[in-house]
Structure 1
Amino acid sequence: MARTDVRRNPSGTPPRPPRTAAGGGNGGSGGKGGGGGFGRFVKRVLAWTVAAGVAAVLALGVAVAVAASSLPSFGALKSQQEGQMIIVRARDGSELVSLGPSYGKWIPVGQIPRTMKQAMISVEDRRYYDHFGVDPVGIARSVFVRAQSGRWRQGGSTITQQLARNVFLNNNRTFARKAREAILAIALESKFSKDEILELYLNKVYFGGGAYGIDSAARKFFGHPGTELTLPEAAIIAGLVKAPSRYSPTADAEAAVKRARVVVETMLDAGAISAGEAEGVDFDTVRFAAEQGQNSVRYFTDWALPQLDLLVPENSEPIEVWTTLDPAMQRAATDAVARHAPKGAQGALVSLDRDGAVLAMVGGTDYVTSNYNRATNAVRQPGSAWKLFVYLAAIEAGYKPDDAVVDEPVTIAGWSPHNDGRTFAGRIDVRTAFAYSKNTVAAQLGNEVGFGTVAGMARRLGITTPINTMPSMVLGTSDVRLIDITRAFGAVSAKGTAVEPYGITKVATTDGRVLYEHRSVAGQQLLQPFVAAAMTDLLQTAVNIGTGRAAQIGRPVAGKTGTTSSNKDGWFIGFSSGITTGVWMGRDDARPIPGLMGGTAPARAFAQYMRVATARRPLEKFDTELVLPEWQLEPDDEAMTGSPEDYYYVDEQGNLIDPARSQGGAPGDGPRGRIEDNGQPPPDDGGPPAAANDDFLDQATGRQGRRGQ
């Protein structure tokens, strides 16, 4: 008989019978076997989870190691700057304004005031010295608040993460960016000490207004270095990180102080300061520094600096920009506009040297309340200042200042202009008609030489806005920019040479390497010198005895007034001693201003400014002697300056039209001279009409048969 070996476990419990192939010796359905399968599944999930966690930790470790190895050195991070700093200098080299990021002086961590470090750590990262770059406790708290409130109210970013974001990343709110930020933060903590990271952060964090770092912020907001910050000042600066524009002391001092009080309470709660220190904080003792650079100079810099994209493209280095602006002239221009602009009105002024250098530019009465530059961007009707182009076209057609014209009622194509005061002087000379701004004479001259010719003259001298060729255009119904019409007068001052306004003379890096330097070249000859001389004669007379008498400054001045209907706009543009200056005044909403005329406030502002602008320049007499070219002394058919092949006019849309080419002829074959009201030249009658002859005046005024009565 076979021996049966019965084995017992140590506890004395009989062993479980062997499991049969049918699924168990207990006759069940395998339920307990199923429970064993679930256990194995759970074990597998746990195993895979642990494996995935280990893999994730390894991957994170590799990512951190790679990131740490690629991080710049501490010295390289100190010298790295975000954005481009631009220092703008005046004509004399003095600093006008500093734009872009400003970094101040680097302050080592040992010299940073203790209260500044405590304020920043308390409000931005209370557990700064307890985490490894990422704060799990802070993240958990942020998620908990998110679950309670339904939106993100607290950030979980540490100071190290903020440094990583500011230096290496952007502010996009994506999980991918947050993951990169966390990796970089851990890498920074593995490479640098806590003090080094804090030093980098406090010298690089953005505080608004272009100020990066506590030294730049302290100088900007309080006018002293960052090493001298007091507790209330440190609280104000620490409070700016959350929203630099909202809490900026220069924008809203009350909001900045209110936020700083929260910072002080946070410091007290974190144990950074005592209750006595907190109670002793007096924000009334804080003195904010005056905001710099927010004056009329910014009108000029806003106009000039965009030109850097063309002068020094693709440059991101800190640079210094030398400009044409004269500080004394700029102050005089600002004061002249502010002093004479009517109440509720705006004013603008632009002043050009003989080569086009902008000496002064004022785009409004107050840059802080309105940074819209009316000197370069606003388009307004120039009124009688437009007569510059009418009389230039007439002079080119053969008129001289002493030639006779008749100031009397006139109707052209159903349009009947009238003079100011509705009086008529009868037979006068061209000089007198211009000096007293006779509208009827300007209408007659424009009709004779052609309204398209007048438009062409305006376009030639630099008017860039659309020009209409209706008869009323001779009185300035086409909108212009102040800087454009000023450069046109400047061309007359320059004896017919084109004047191109410019504001930048040199661009260099902060270490002195020159990137761009302006080189003056002779401008294109737009007018014959005798035409410019005759026009100067008329302009000088307008100031001496005419509508521009208020612009007299004790030395020769040539200029013209302009006033639009209902006194909506007042202009004076003139020149003296090589300086050409234009002044405009009016309301932005184009409402009438009682008493505003070009010969009043604008002319007075011109005079006040020009007395300062010309004070150090020698007195220059105008060359108004008419020296006619030999070809005009001959009895030929030329009536226009230059060759007939160069003739063109400008239609209502501002398009240049060559009549000869438009009719299929060769240059010079087409008709020339007067342009009819429909924009087409009349049939060639063998030559241009005489200047203001009797037949023309009789036809224009409808007084045939009455001459000599």
Structure 2
Amino acid sequence: MTVLVEWIRKIRRWMLDLDARIDSTLFSTGKGTRELYERYSAFMDRFHVGRWKRWVFIEPLSEAATLGLGGLILMLALAVPAFRETADEDWLKKSDLAVTFLDRYGNPIGSRGIKHNDSIPLEDFPDVLIKATLATEDRRFYDHFGIDVAGTLRALVTNAQAGGVRQGGSSITQQLAKNLFLSNERTIERKINEAFLAIWLETRLTKNEILKLYLDRAYMGGGTFGVDGAAHFYFNKSARDVNLAEAAMLAGLFKAPTKYAPHINLPAARARANVVLDNLVDAGFMTEGQVFGARRNPASVVDRRDENSPNYYLDWAFDEMRKLVDTFPKSYNERVFVVRTTIDMSVQRAAEEAIENQLRQFGRDYHATQAATVVSDLDGGIRAMVGGRDYGASQFNRAVDAYRQPGSSFKPYVYTTALLNGFTPKSVVVDGPVCIGNWCPQNYGHSYSGPVTLTQALTRSINVIPVKLSIALGGKEGPKAGRKKIVEVARRFGIKAPLPDTPSLPIGADEVTVLEHAVAYATFPNRGKAVTPHAILEVRTGTGDLVWRYDRDGPKPRQAIPANIAGEMAEMMSHVVSEGTARRAALDGIPTAGKTGTTNNYRDAWFVGYTGNFTCAVWYGNDDYSPTNRMTGGSLPAQTWHEIMLAAHQGVEIKELPGVGMGTKLPQSPSAALLAAHGAAPKPPDIRPPPVLTKRGADVLVQVEKMLDDAARTVDESAKPAKPVSSTSAGFTESFASALPGASTASTAPRKY
């Protein structure tokens, strides 16, 4: 007991000692802190500024420091996305690819990327080319830190006064940053990233290195990158050898290579070159006398109008190649490649001619100005791609980058979902009024057909049935669940478009691309296997070493739906061509299936179809989303599809279409039936593409029309009945005769035709 009491006393004394020490420490700390604060206050009192001096000097400086700190934090936050672009140690190599493209048979079809061979050092570029570039693009290039503040402010003032974009404020460093890391989209985010990356480039590279990269990497039109590649393309010479007029034309391309490309619009290119010559004089780099000769003798360019490269296809293939190179090991340093693609140039030319001819003949009547098409084999290899009517006028690829409403051509994904969930092609659904909330879909003729089978509904493109199917697919969970199932099936087919959930999704209100839509349809003839669209068959180095091959290294087909469902859908969709809305697409003796699509106000018209060999999607419309003149998918799209697929099937073995079998001959015309009844052998069907008017032929006809008008005007003004035919009229007769194939002007005797 005594021992316990002793321990309790010791613990109490120890705790009292600890408490005393804590109190002493707190007191000493507080006292020391107070003394330090008093000393600090006494020291700061020496700098006290009162009255007017405080408000004039001290307060503004304090506010500036606060705002500066906040601005610094904001700048760091904005800089993070820009600097993420530089995370890759090989950032400089990502954009220096040089690719030569071959068609599927090994024939060269074009190139993309920068020119590697015989790369020209900066000091070897002509002085006039360097001066023309600096005078036009960035006169203070060697004076600023990556952003030309004065130039930017001047451009803002000029554009504000002009009410539009007249001057660009980006420095050469900013433009290089955009070329190396960013896209061409016009957004505030891109401009902010561009500014930060420009400053970053200035810290990593010298001014001469930046200028050299800019001259080598800038896009110069015609599929060329860099001034040396452009000089070879436009003038058939090295950039080392260009004269002042040619240098001015090249320097004028940096602003808008599409608009000022001389092989497309030579007058505009020469006018732009004149502006560059003015800039040389204004900047003090040259005198008016020195540029006078270049004004009087503008540059002449190589005529490349007959060189029809599949540029939309090449742009897409080059993007695919850049993504593919990113998958190669980082230790792989090769940057020059030869790529064999999937394109078939005969099909490509047929697609281009079909679209051009349809738009030339019927575009004005239908108020349609643009079209796009994709032809794919059943492996997903793109045999042809047309991204617009004229690549020279617009490089925007409507087959790959444009999202348009597919209309009823989306319905096969809905019917496939229905078949996967217990429906059959013979299942009956009542075509009658239906509403989801305040939205009530209407059929094309604003009428209803009563009970119809799924096959009949798809053939006649009834709108109400897919909506009712989406409701039925949702069951107790509601239409939203049904639409979710439809989107999941579309994803299995390969549709990657956003497809937001809207009540009108089952009738094609959500947007897709022509490329995805065309290749997704390949799932039907592929017995339910979905494939990936691709342009590249094999990649080799410049020395011929095989690097990558699609059949070995590419993605494999995936079973999206059961084969029997794919067959049932093909059988249902074949009725659309044989007796439904797409009769103009029918191919004689070739099994065909597909679906038309027409959107609200006729803004988009589609036909997407397939055979046992190929699938093809055709879209018509306008870039500004203005409505067409009642164009439906069964009109120009189906006609164009017919012409393209006739050409695509030349010289190939016609394959059976699963679910349909082999094709049947189309019904004979009355004249052919009459000949057959009298024992005359009917002429074998000609499955060649119908003769079409080529662009050159159209130009000749336009020229002839002008000559006829001129001659008629001359006769009306000066000819009298008593006088003989004038010399002008005789000259016209010779000119007209010479314009006819095989005509001779040796004799002017009248002929009978």
TM-score in terms of structure 1 length: 0.57
Q: Using the TM superposition, give the Cα deviation of residue 567 of structure 1 relative to its aligned residue in structure 2, in angstroms.
A: 0.8
Q: Does 1:98 align with 2:111?
A: yes
1:552 aligns with 2:552: no
Q: Which residue type is aligned with residue 370 of structure 1?
A: S
1:466 counterpart residue number:
498
Aligned to 2:273: 256
**Cα distance in 2 between the residues matched to 1:206 and 1:495:** 45
**Residue 143 of structure 1: aligned partner:** none
Offset from partner CA, 1:384-409 (integer Å, 9 cap, x none): 11211221122223333334443334
Tell whether the 8 Å contact from 1:236 to 1:256 is kept in structure 2 after alignment.
yes
Helix, strand or coil at the partner of 1:493:
coil
CA contact (8 A) 1:543 1:551 kept: yes
Q: How many angstroms does 1:530 deviate by?
A: 0.9
- 1:585 partner SS: strand
Amino acid in the other structure paired with 1:87: T
Provide the C-alpha distance between the structure 2 equivalents of 1:383 and 1:335, rounded to a whole number of angstroms. 26
Residue 377 of structure 1 aligns with which residue?
401
Q: Which residue among 362, 372, 375 is the counterpart of 1:348?
A: 372
- Asked if 1:533 is matched to 2:567, the reply is yes
Give the Å deviation of 1:259.
Answer: 5.6
Identity within the alignment, %: 27
Map of 2:470 onto structure 1:
446
Q: Which residue of 1 aligns with 2:389?
A: 365
SS in 1 for 2:529: coil
Mapped contact 1:235–1:261 kept (Cα < 8 A): no
Is 1:592 aligned with 2:611?
Answer: no
1:176 & 1:429 partners in 2: Cα distance? Answer: 70
2:551 alignment counterpart: 519
State whether residues 85 and 99 of structure 1, in contact with CA within 8 Å, keep that contact through their aligned partners in structure 2: yes
Query: Matched residue pairs, number?
Result: 470
Equivalent in the alignment of 2:530: 498
Q: Which has the larger radius of gyration?
A: 1
Equivalent in the alignment of 2:656: 621
| In structure 1, distance between residues paired with 2:468 and 2:392 | 46
Tell me: CA distance 1:416–1:618, structure 2 relative to 1, closer, same or farther (3 Å).
same
Q: In the alignment, residue 465 of structure 2 is paired with which amino acid?
A: V
Q: Contact 1:294–1:368 at 8 Å: present in 2 too?
A: no
Please give the per-residue CA displacement for 1:402-430, whole angstroms capped at 9, x wherever unaligned. Answer: 34443334445565333211233334332
Q: In the TM superposition, what whole-angstrom CA distance separates every residue of 1:281-340 from its partner, at most 9, and x where no partner exists? A: 973683444376584334433543332343436545222222212222222222333333
CA 1:508–1:565: 2 relative to 1, 3 Å:
same
Number of the residue aligned with 1:417: 441
Question: Quick check: 2:374–2:616 contact (8 Å CA) kept in 1?
Answer: yes
Q: Deviations over 1:223-269 (max 9, x none)?
A: 36789x7xxx63334546866626987352333367679999x9999
* 1:476-495 alignment runs, 5 A limit: 476-495=508-527
Kindly indicate whether residue 322 of structure 2 is the aligned counterpart of residue 306 of structure 1: yes
Equivalent in the alignment of 2:645:
610
**Residues 207, 241 of structure 1: 8 Å contact kept:** no
- For residue 490 of structure 1, give the secondary structure of its aligned residue in structure 2: helix
Tell whether the 8 Å contact from 2:372 to 2:398 is kept in structure 1 after alignment. Answer: yes
1:259–1:568: structure 2 CA closer, same or farther, 3 Å change rule? closer
RMSD: 4.5
Deviations 1:644-665 (A, max 9, x none): xxxxxxxxxxxxxxxxxxxxxx
The reply on whether 1:322 has 2:340 as its aligned counterpart is: yes
Structure 1: runs of 5+ lacking an equivalent: 1-79, 125-138, 140-150, 152-169, 185-200, 627-709
**Counterpart for residue 640 of structure 1:** none
Where 1:431 maps in the other structure, the secondary structure is: helix
- In structure 2, what is the Cα distance between the partners aligned to 1:386 and 1:299? 27
Instruction: Write the letter of the residue equivalent to 2:382.
Output: V
Cα deviation per residue 1:326-356 (whole Å; 9 max; x = unaligned)?
2222222223333335445322212221111
Change (3 A) 1:317 1:365: same
Q: Matched residues in 2 for 1:283 and 1:470: separation?
A: 61
Deviation at 1:485, TM superposition (A): 2.4
Counterpart-to-counterpart distance in 2, 1:299 and 1:117: 30
Q: How much does 1:542 deviate? A: 0.4
SS of 2:558's equivalent in the other structure is: coil
**Matched residue SS, 1:356:** coil
Q: Is the 8 A contact 1:498 1:525 kept in 2?
A: yes
Residues 101 and 339, structure 2, Cα contact 8 Å, conserved in 1: yes
Q: Separation in 2 of the partners of 1:593 and 1:104?
A: 49
> Structure 1 residues 457, 100: closer, same or farther in 2, change over 3 A?
closer
1:236 aligns with one of 217, 223, 245: 245
Which whole-Å CA distance do the structure 2 matches of 1:174 and 1:307 have between them?
24
String of CA shifts for 1:148-202, please: whole Å, max 9, x gaps.
xxx9xxxxxxxxxxxxxxxxxx999999999x889x9xxxxxxxxxxxxxxxx9x
Contact 1:96 1:297 in 2 (8 A): no
Do 2:425 and 2:455's aligned partners in 1 also have CA atoms closer than 8 Å? Answer: yes
Counterpart residue number, 1:290: 304
Q: Secondary structure at the match of 2:575?
A: helix
Question: CA separation in 1, counterparts of 2:318 and 2:598?
Answer: 28
* Aligned partners of 1:319 and 1:508 also within 8 Å: yes
Matched, 1:433 2:457: yes
Q: Residue 331 in 1 paired to residue 349 in 2?
A: yes
Say whether the 8 Å CA contact 1:496–1:528 is kept in structure 2: yes
**Alignment match of 2:600 (pick from 565, 569, 578):** 565
Q: How far apart are residue 121 of structure 1 and its match? A: 11
Contact 2:99 2:113 in 1 (8 A): yes
Structure 1 residue identity aligned to 2:514 = L
Q: Is 1:386 aligned to residue 402 of structure 2?
A: no
Q: Is the 8 A contact 2:612 2:658 kept in 1?
A: no
**Alpha carbons 1:541, 1:558 under 8 Å: kept:** yes
Deviations 1:464-507 (A, max 9, x none): 23345554332122222222222321111201011111111222
Contact 2:251 2:273 (8 Å CA) reproduced: no
Q: 1:174 to 1:612 in 2, by over 3 A?
A: closer
Kept in 1, the 8 Å contact 2:270–2:298? The answer is no
Q: Tell me, in whole angstroms, the C-alpha distance in 2 between the residues paired with 1:119 and 1:174.
A: 26
State the distance in 2 between where 1:408 and 1:173 align.
Answer: 64
CA contact 2:427–2:453 (8 Å) conserved in 1: yes
Contact 1:218 1:226 in 2 (8 A): yes
Contact 2:429 2:453 in 1 (8 A): yes
By percentage of residues, which structure has more helix? 2
Once residues 438 and 256 of structure 2 are traced to their aligned partners in structure 1, the CA distance between those partners, rounded to angstroms, is 63
* Residues 149-228 of structure 1 mapped to structure 2, 5 A cutoff: 209=220, 210=224, 218-223=231-236
Q: CA deviation at 1:541?
A: 0.6
Q: Map 1:663-682; keep pairs closer than 5 Å.
A: none
Distance 1:411 1:118, change over 3 A: closer
Contact 2:584 2:635 in 1 (8 A): yes
Cα distance change on mapping 1:509 and 1:625 into 2, 3 Å:
closer
CA shift in 2, pair 1:239/1:614, >3 Å: same
